Amino acid sequence: MNTEEPEIRKGLNGVVVDTTKVSKVNPETNSLLYRGYPVQELAEKCSFEEVAYLLWHGELPTDEQNEEFCKAERSQRALEPNVKKLIDLLPTSSHPMDVCRTAASAMGASHPKAEDSSREANLAKSISLFAAFPAVVAYDQRRRRGQDVVEPREDLDYSANFLYMTFGEEQPPAVVDAFKVSMVLYAEHSFNASTFTGRVITSTLADLHSAVTGAIGALKGPLHGGANEAVMDTFEEIGIRKEESKEDAAARAKSWMEDALAQKKKVMGFGHRVYKHGDSRVPTMKAALDAMVKHYERDEILGLYDGLQAAMQEAKDIQPNLDYPTGPAFHLMGFDTPTFTPLFVASRITGWTAHIMEQAEDNALIRPLSAYSGPDERHVGK
Ligand code: COA
């Protein structure tokens, strides 16, 4: 009989469950590679469409492939009438992530190849989810503001069109570029909780939309994607005062953080399960946030940002994660706070579906074991 206690790694912390060719996170060197390319380089030099293509195909597209891919993406951007009807049935008091989850599920239910999980069908499903999700996110924010759908424009790229459909007018190049950077940085991050959820669902041979729907559920939590919203809630709690100097805002933020840490609170936007010396994506997103602060002339936002970060560094030496600069950047662009995680969904659909296809192509059912800790065998006393 084996009397040894099994080793349990709570939260699968440090457990390597499979190999992947999609991305490599190296916490020692603070680096993140998508299919071998540093994410910073992709954010600087590539469109989000090229990055999506790279994640799915393993290589950046040639000009011709890119043209063909963009044509397919642009032709599938409109909100399906059935999906719009379904969204309209959901109360505006519901969280936008619930709307995303419902929309992904509905798109699967009405997909002509719903039960086909071949590589070809999965790729086609991934492109249509990628193309159509901005319309879901944009429309959901608009309907909450009492506004109607804005139809997509085929003459704009993914990022410019996303902002156009959300705000009803074209945004300046600086804003489009910062938004694109956020999309590229959010696209993929190896076996995080939502991606792993998607892989678990795929491992049962369930269809791609089921896996994406489950992944959206996992991303909703504040320990994962929901952190970008929680960062903004913190800024709001401290108080955003438009005319305040950067220094005064930083001082207020610093004392808020000191109080929060004295009360042993977890402050969202800081810390990471994998990176312990800083998140590789933060410097690139911080530069995009700086560009937004400059564009909108909102120095006080930077004051709050710096104040919180400095106090956290001093007290606990914990570094910000990607959600920390992204939250205030989305706020400055004009998104409502509950829309932040849906923006993450629109981006991460690319990484999720790349993993779903990888899992499907070399599948093993994911089914771990547990150590029983309940009562010993007993019997019903009647
Ligand atoms: N605020 C305050 N303290 C934090 C913290 C935070 N954001 N993140 C970690 N810590 C502290 C923990 O309280 C713990 O302290 P202790 O040893 O005194 O108990 C220590 O740092 C280690 O943290 P731990 O929770 O074990 O790390 P983890 O790897 O399990 O958790 C996160 C990683 C991401 C879940 C965690 O850092 C967190 O909750 N961050 C906030 C949520 C967030 O921003 N999520 C987005 C991730 S991209």
Provide the residue type at 253 as one letter: A
- 321 touches ligand 1 (CB under 6 Å): yes
pTM, 2 dp: 0.95
* Active-site annotation holder among 140, 207, 279, 323: 323
Average pLDDT, the chain: 96
Pocket test for ligand 1, best of 13, 192, 223 (most atoms within 8 A of CB): 223
Q: What was the pLDDT predicted at 3?
A: 61
pLDDT per residue as tens digits for the range 93-124 = 999 999 999 999 999 999 999 999 999 999 99
Question: Is 224 a residue of the active site?
Answer: yes
* Active-site annotation holder among 18, 224, 290, 336: 224
Provide the residue type at 301 as one letter: I
Q: From the centroid of its chain, how far is CA 224?
A: 9
User: CA–CA separation, 196 vs 202, rounded Å?
Assistant: 10
- 266 touches ligand 1 (CB under 6 Å): yes
Q: What was the pLDDT predicted at 30?
A: 83
Pocket test for ligand 1, best of 273, 324, 341 (most atoms within 8 A of CB): 273
- 267 touches ligand 1 (CB under 6 Å): yes
Question: Is 295 a residue of the active site?
Answer: no
Rounded distance from Cα 223 to ligand 1 centre (Å): 9
pLDDT per residue as tens digits for the range 5-51 = 889 999 999 999 999 999 999 888 888 999 999 999 999 999 999 99
Question: Is the pLDDT confidence value at 1 over 80?
Answer: no
